[in-house]
Chain A
């Protein structure tokens, strides 16, 4: 009897464990979170960069919120590093460090610790002047904390580039395994739940309001002092049905989102609806910062397979590219390792002409420069090879300005490349 009961409980516990595991701990990549990281990093950087001229006004002792006023609302749990900075120069140093951390966070450089620095900085600004606290600051804090929990920096980051480069320095053909882990999946799930909870409570709040239920709320938004939009009022005044449709559509999207975004078949529609909604907030209500941060939160709903398919489609469109290099040249191998580390989609194949000569490019040609062979058998030498690649490998797009400045890039690029190629044995 006891053994039967024990077996029954064991089966139930196993079943619960399996469900728990499938909800939280499947193996997953960090890529959706990395997209959120990059977007949130850019948003924070731009936002706080614009605040620089007002630094002392917003957060200084002689500004809008002297610390003495803050003491009246003191909460021991609401901490801020800025409570302990007294001189203006200290505030400027803090701000400069915070901006530097935002840059590092966006690029994914030393992400493991820099993400915490960004979170602490953001919370410090919020708590130093709570009167300036706005909905988007809360959203940012929620998303940043989840990103801090997550093992971000494992993809689409300089940390990943460093890891791949190190592996390629040992063996140019090496392809370090793409990172994925149950914890990355759990953190992605946390961000998804955060967004769903936000939409749910936002919808519930609206359903309670007469203005929303009578279908007139959208008119009120554009007629209000804060979001007055003459263009919209002109259209809506003579087409009030649009107001009704828009009001109910907002409720419908916000209410459907937390329930229907989980299913594979309905997710694309709900995600498109949510993004559309936030684009409207940005364009018609000037809520750019809020909308952008929300959209970055929604990136957690991207299926990794979608991103893989997108990458595969890009790779297919561009076609294979083969870089032929001199395997006897240490500098060539080192620079190739650095270059290939940015090729996250693995679009570039490599060939060492010393061990594996090419049918298309002769050894004599190869001794003068690196070559890129395209699917149509065209061979581009040296600078032109790099110029072709940087436009077609997304990880190298940051180099486009260097290689595509009209006239100057080619004018300077060719002699620089030729000099390096001629002196490569000494570098």
Chain B
């Protein structure tokens, strides 16, 4: 009797383990699958599990295209009318893990400046209080394509001719 119980328990454990590995494999495979009616239906089934554990990612690193990239820049106008330009990304130390988060944050400010621009501008005013800032203009520097022949001609991707500046928003510093 006891042996039968043990065998039953072992079988139940085996079934439970099999169900778990099958389910998790299904979730791993379906999460990044390209959109189609079948994969979308399957993903709907796994979505709560994927979201709850943060497993959702398309794993499309640098694919299908490698973007030329863009950088955040801001111009501070001081009380005397002087202008000071900063590129916060240039100050980041890539050896520090937080650099990734900072870059992500700058990207978010650029892609959603209506939502985050005011808060970002206020933070910049605070950071550069010693300049006596009146306003901050947030800019996105979109980099253009750069090829080996450009390099061989003595140019650099960071040169002004390879970038396009787009003004995102001008924020008046709090208290001004």
Q: Which residues from chain A sit less than 8 Å from chain B, CB to CB?
A: 20, 24-25, 46-47, 50-51, 54, 58, 64, 69, 75, 77-79, 119, 122-123, 126-127, 131-139, 141-142, 145-146, 149, 182-183, 186, 189-190, 193-194, 197-198, 201-202, 204-206, 208-212, 217, 219-221, 223-228, 230, 233-234, 236-238, 240, 286, 288-290
Task: State the majority secondary structure of interface residues on A.
Answer: helix
B170 at the interface (CB under 8 A from A): no
In the assembled complex, the CB of B57 is this many whole angstroms from the nearest CB of chain A, namely 4
- Can you list 12 pairs linking A and B with CB atoms under 8 Å apart? A50-B98, A78-B51, A149-B24, A198-B32, A206-B62, A211-B65, A224-B69, A224-B157, A225-B70, A225-B71, A225-B157, A238-B148
Q: Which residues from chain B sit less than 8 Å from chain A, CB to CB?
A: 14, 17-18, 20-21, 24-25, 28-29, 32-34, 47-48, 51-71, 89, 94-101, 103-105, 108, 115-116, 119, 141, 143, 145-148, 151-152, 156-158
The answer to whether A141 touches B21, judged by C-beta atoms less than 8 angstroms apart, is no
Query: What is the CA–CA distance of A141 and B18 in the complex, to the nearest angstrom?
Result: 22
Query: What is the CA–CA distance of A146 and B53 in the complex, to the nearest angstrom?
Result: 11
18 more contacts with CB within 8 A, not counting A208-B64, A209-B66, are: A127-B54, A131-B105, A132-B101, A141-B53, A182-B17, A194-B28, A197-B29, A197-B59, A198-B59, A206-B63, A209-B64, A221-B62, A224-B157, A225-B71, A226-B67, A227-B69, A234-B151, A238-B152
In the assembled complex, the CB of A76 is this many whole angstroms from the nearest CB of chain B, namely 9
Give the residue name and chain of the B residue nearest to A46 (CB).
B97
In the assembled complex, the CB of B124 is this many whole angstroms from the nearest CB of chain A, namely 13
How many residue pairs, one in A and one in B, have C-beta atoms under 8 Å apart? 171
| Residue with the greatest number of chain A CB neighbours at <10 A, chosen from B141, B143, B148 | B148
Query: What is the CA–CA distance of A69 and B18 in the complex, to the nearest angstrom?
Result: 41
Instruction: From the candidates A145, A202, A288, name the one contacting B60 in the complex (CB within 8 A).
Output: A202
The answer to whether A193 touches B60, judged by C-beta atoms less than 8 angstroms apart, is no
The answer to whether B70 touches A138, judged by C-beta atoms less than 8 angstroms apart, is no
Decide: A202 near B63, CB < 8 A? Known: A220-B68, A224-B69: yes
Instruction: From the candidates B57, B89, B97, B147, name the one contacting A135 in the complex (CB within 8 A).
Output: B57
Give the residue name and chain of the B residue nearest to A54 (CB).
B98
Query: What is the CA–CA distance of A212 and B148 in the complex, to the nearest angstrom?
Result: 17
The answer to whether A221 touches B66, judged by C-beta atoms less than 8 angstroms apart, is yes
Decide: A134 near B100, CB < 8 A? Known: A142-B28, A201-B59: yes
**For residue A134, which residues in chain B have a CB less than 8 angstroms away from its CB?**
100-101, 104
Instruction: From the candidates B32, B34, B99, name the one contacting A197 in the complex (CB within 8 A).
Output: B32
**For residue B48, which residues in chain A have a CB less than 8 angstroms away from its CB?**
77
Instruction: From the candidates A75, A123, A237, name the one contacting B151 in the complex (CB within 8 A).
Output: A237
- Smallest CB-CB A-B distances: 7 pairs: A205-B63, A225-B69, A209-B64, A286-B94, A138-B57, A141-B54, A77-B51
The answer to whether A69 touches B115, judged by C-beta atoms less than 8 angstroms apart, is yes
Query: What is the CA–CA distance of A425 and B56 in the complex, to the nearest angstrom?
Result: 61
The answer to whether A47 touches B97, judged by C-beta atoms less than 8 angstroms apart, is yes
Decide: A205 near B64, CB < 8 A? Known: A149-B20, A193-B25: yes
Decide: A286 near B64, CB < 8 A? Known: A69-B115, A137-B54: no
**For residue B103, which residues in chain A have a CB less than 8 angstroms away from its CB?**
226
**For residue B147, which residues in chain A have a CB less than 8 angstroms away from its CB?**
219, 223
**For residue B94, which residues in chain A have a CB less than 8 angstroms away from its CB?**
286, 288
| Residue with the greatest number of chain A CB neighbours at <10 A, chosen from B32, B97, B108, B119 | B97
In the assembled complex, the CB of A61 is this many whole angstroms from the nearest CB of chain B, namely 12
Decide: A217 near B62, CB < 8 A? Known: A134-B104, A186-B21: yes
The answer to whether B158 touches A202, judged by C-beta atoms less than 8 angstroms apart, is no
**For residue A209, which residues in chain B have a CB less than 8 angstroms away from its CB?**
63-66
In the assembled complex, the CB of B166 is this many whole angstroms from the nearest CB of chain A, namely 13
The answer to whether A77 touches B47, judged by C-beta atoms less than 8 angstroms apart, is yes
**For residue A126, which residues in chain B have a CB less than 8 angstroms away from its CB?**
54
Query: What is the CA–CA distance of A238 and B151 in the complex, to the nearest angstrom?
Result: 9
Give the residue name and chain of the A residue nearest to B13 (CB).
A183
Instruction: From the candidates A220, A236, A238, name the one contacting B66 in the complex (CB within 8 A).
Output: A220
The answer to whether A223 touches B146, judged by C-beta atoms less than 8 angstroms apart, is yes
In the assembled complex, the CB of B157 is this many whole angstroms from the nearest CB of chain A, namely 5
**For residue B145, which residues in chain A have a CB less than 8 angstroms away from its CB?**
223
